[in-house]
Amino acid sequence: MISTHLGLKKISSMEYYRMYQEVQAAKQIARANLATTLATHEREKHNVSSNENISNDVMAPKKWGANLDVTA
């Protein structure tokens, strides 16, 4: 038997192992969910940024910029 740090309840090694596995599985699911959420957010942010850059392009194409640069 393993006694918990609070000494309120004694649990067997197998019960402790099962609880540990449940906690680890929950943590893994939470990490995967967070990674998915973050990746989705970053992709949407990139798409919005790209769309803003395209819509703000009121000047000549970028390849023309080199011809217009002033060099001394």
- How confident is the model over 25-69, as pLDDT tens digits? 999 999 999 999 999 989 888 888 776 666 555 555 556 555 566
In the prediction, which pLDDT does 71 show?
58
The pLDDT score that the predictor gives to residue 10 is 83
Residue partners of 65: CB distance under 8 A and separation at least 6: none
Q: How many other CB atoms are found less than 10 A from the CB of residue 38?
A: 10
**Would you say residue 1 has pLDDT above 50?**
no
